Amino acid sequence: MTTSAEHEAVADRSDAAAAVRTYLDHLAVERGLAANTLASYRRDLRRYVLFLESRGLASLAGVAAGDVSAFLRALREGDEEHPPLGGNSAGRAVVAVRGLHRFALREGLAPADPAAEVSPPRPMRRLPKAVPLEDIEALLEAAGSEGDPRALRDRALLELLYGTGARISEAVGLDVDDVTGPAPPGAEDGGVVRFRGKGGKERVVPVGRFARESVQAYLVRGRPALAASGRGAPALFLNARGGRLTRQGAWAVLRAAAERAGLRDVSPHTLRHSFATHLIDGGADVRVVQELLGHASVSTTQVYTLVTVDRLREVYAAGHPRARR
C-alpha cells in the first residue's frame, strides 16, 4: 500500500508539480504576492497535485474539467487527513487552481484550461445586522444635542446617517449646499439631501423631520463656531479646526456615542442596514429602498427582505397558537 509520504514524493517529481513551482515563482517575482498569500497558494496547489496523482494524472495536460470539479467536492467533503473546508476556504483553493491552469495554458504547459468551467463556491451570504429602534434612539440621544458645537454636529451626523441610509463617505462628503433648508411653515414633510455615491453617481434622498431639525440646529448654533477656526470650507460637517470632518473622525463620533449608550458592534454601515431594514419592516417597497440606498441592482437590496422574513417568523412563532412545537 502506498503511504502518504510516498504519494508526496511522486507528486513532487511530476510534471504537474514542476508547473506549480514555475507558477509560484511567477507569482512571487512578477506579481509580487505577499509571503502569506504565497504560502496559502503553495499549500492548496500541493494538495491539488496530490489529488491529481491519486487519479493517475501526473501532468496538467491530461486534466479535465471533471477532475477540477472532483477536487472541489473533495475539499468540501474532507478525508482522513483533511477536515471538510468551508465555502470561503474551498473557494480560495479553487481560485489558486484556476490561476495555475490559466498560467499553464498561457505558457504552453497545457493545451487547454479545464478549470475555466469550474466556478468557486459562492460565499455564504451574511445577513445585514440591524439594531432595534430603541437602541438607535439611545445612540442618538447619547450623541448630545445642546451646548457644545461638536455635540450638535455629532447629533446631526448620526441623525442623517440613520435618517437617510447614507454611507459614511457620502455623509462626510456633503457640502452645505447639498442640503435644502427647513420645510416651510405648516408643511408635514420637506427637505432633501444630494449624495454623491459610488462611481460619482448622484441621488437625492428625502430628509425626515428629526434629521432635518438636527441638521438645522447644527447649522445655526454649531457649525459657525467650528467654521471660525477654519478657512471657509464648504463642507457640511466640520472638525474642530474648521476643516472637513474625515471618515475617521466620523467613526470616532459614532464609537463615542455607542460607548455612552452602552452599545457594542455598531458601525456606520450598521445604521445604513438599520435604515433599510426598518423601512421594509414598515412596509416600504424594496425598489424604493433600492433607490434610497443607491444600489445599482435590486438584488443587492433584496437581502433586507430576508431579515424581514426572520422577523415575521419570530412574530408568528410567538403569536400563533399552533406555531409552538
Cell numbers for 121: 463556491
Greatest Cα pair distance, the chain, in angstroms, is 89
- Same fold for the pair 4-117 and 134-268: no
- DSSP codes joined into one string, 240-254: TTSSBPPHHHHHHHH
Contact 294, 197 (CB under 8 A): yes
Q: How many helices and strands, by DSSP H and E, does the chain display? A: 15, 2
Locate the domains of the chain by residue range.
Answer: 4-117, 134-268
- What is the distance between the alpha carbons of residues 119 and 130, in angstroms, rounded to a whole number? 32
- Pick the closest to residue 42 from 109, 93, 113 (CA basis): 93
CATH: 1.10.150.130, 3.40.720.10, 2.60.40.10, 1.10.8.350. Which one for 4-117?
1.10.150.130
Residue positions annotated with a catalytic role: 167, 198, 269, 272, 295, 304
Was domain 134-268 assigned CATH 1.10.443.10?
yes
Closest to 156 (Cα-Cα) out of 68, 242, 257: 257
Please give the distance of CA 247 from its chain centroid, rounded to a whole number. Answer: 16
Per-position pLDDT tens, the chain of length 325: 444 444 444 445 678 999 999 999 999 888 888 888 899 999 999 999 999 999 999 899 989 999 999 999 998 888 878 888 887 788 888 899 999 999 999 999 899 999 998 887 766 566 567 889 999 999 999 987 667 899 999 999 999 999 999 999 999 999 999 997 554 444 445 688 999 877 678 888 999 999 999 999 999 999 999 999 888 889 999 999 999 999 999 999 999 999 999 998 888 888 988 998 888 888 888 888 888 888 877 777 777 776 666 666 766 677 666 665 5
